Amino acid sequence: MSLNFETLRKNILKYVKEHVNPGRYQHTLRVEETAIRLANQYGADVESVRLAAVLHDACKDFESKKMTKFAKNFLKREGIEIDLSNAGTAILHGLAAADLGYRIYGIKDKDILYAVAFHTTGWYKMSLIGKIIFIADYIEPERNFNKVKKARKLANKDLDRATVFKMKNSIRHLAKDENYIYIESVKIYNHWISK
Ligand SMILES: [Fe+2]
Ligand SMILES: [Fe+2]
C-alpha cells in the first residue's frame, strides 16, 4: 500500500460509521476480524484484506439513485458490461463501494476493488482477497443461518469450496422463498461449478 494503511483504514471506518446504521458498522468490524484470520491462514496480504473489509458495506445505506450512480461509475471504469436493470441494492452496494474506494480513498489495487465490488455475488475470476471477503462476510461470528456451521468448516479447509457453497446456498435460499434471482449470480455460479 502506498498510502499509509492505518490512516486510510481509519478514514474509511469514519466514513462507514457516518453512513451506515450502528448494527452494520459492528458487522463491518466483525467481517474485518474474520477476514484477518482467513488472510493469516491462507497467506493473503493482511492490509489489503482489511481495507476491503472495512469498505465492503460502506454504501449499503445509500439511497438507491446515488448507489446506482456509484455502481455504474465502477462498471464503466472497469469496462464491465452487466445488466443492472433488475439488480437491487443487494447487488449494487458492493459495486458502489468499490467506486467510493477508488474515487474518494484512492485505492487502485484491483484485488481490493473487485473483492469489494463482488462481495455479494462473487465473480468469475476471484483473487485470494476476493474469496476471503466473500467468505468473511458470510461467516462472521454473528451470522446465524442454517448452514453457517458447514460454511465455517469449509472456510477452514478449502476456500474455493466455501466460495461455491455460498453461491449455491444464496441461490437456493432465494429460490426457496420465491425471490428474484439476479441473472449474473446464476452465470457466475455456473462458471464456478464448471471449473
Ligand atoms: Fe454487503
Ligand atoms: Fe457485509
Cell matching residue 118: 463482488
**Are 134 and 166 spatial neighbours (Cβ–Cβ below 8 Å)?**
yes
Under 8 Å between Cβ of 96 and 71: yes
Higher pLDDT among residues 191 and 85, named by residue: 191
In tens, the pLDDT along 136-150 reads 999 999 999 989 999
Centre of ligand 2 to C-alpha 28, Å, is 6
SS3 105: coil
Residue identified by cell 473483492 is 115
Burial environment of residue 66 by CB neighbours within 10 A (0 to 12, 13 to 18, 19 or more): exposed
Query: What's the rounded Cα separation, in Å, for the pair 162 and 68?
Result: 29
If one counts the domains in the chain, the total is 1
When pLDDT is averaged across residues 62-81 and rounded to a whole number, the result is 97
Could you report the per-residue pLDDT of 24-42, keeping only the tens digit for each? 999 999 999 999 999 999 9
- Residues 186, 70, 62, 20: is their CA dihedral positive or negative? positive
**Closest-lying ligand to the alpha carbon of 143?**
2
User: What is the sign of the dihedral through the CA atoms of 105, 106, 110 and 114?
Assistant: positive
Q: Report how far ligand 1's centroid is from the alpha carbon of 43 (Å).
A: 24
Q: Is the pLDDT of residue 194 over 90?
A: yes
* Closest by Cα among 95, 66, 70, 56 to 182: 95
Q: For 20, what's the count of Cα atoms within 13 Å in the CB-facing half-sphere?
A: 23
- CATH of residue 153: 1.10.3210.10
Q: How far is the CA of 170 from the centre of ligand 1 (A)?
A: 13
The rounded Å distance from CA 62 to ligand 2 centre is 14
Ligand nearest to the CA of 95: 1
pLDDT digits (tens, 9 = 90+) for 74-109: 999 999 999 998 899 999 999 999 999 999 999 999
Does the pLDDT value for residue 5 go beyond 70?
Answer: yes
Amino acid 86: pLDDT: 86
Ligand positioned closest to the Cα atom of 97: 1
Ligand nearest to the CA of 121: 1
Whole-number percent of the chain with pLDDT over 90: 96
User: What's the CA-to-centroid distance between 166 and ligand 2, angstroms?
Assistant: 13
Per-residue confidence (pLDDT) for residue 2, from 0 to 100:
52
Pairwise CA distance, residues 143 & 165, whole Å: 15
* 80 Cα: distance to centroid of ligand 1 (angstroms): 20
How much is the pTM? 0.96
What does the chain come to in residues? Answer: 195
Q: Please give all residues whose CB falls under 5 A of ion ligand 1, grouped by chain where several chains appear.
A: 57
Domain range enclosing 115: 5-193
Q: Which amino acid is at 109?
A: D
Q: How far is the CA of 50 from the centre of ligand 1 (A)?
A: 15
Ligand with the closest atom to the CA of 23: 2
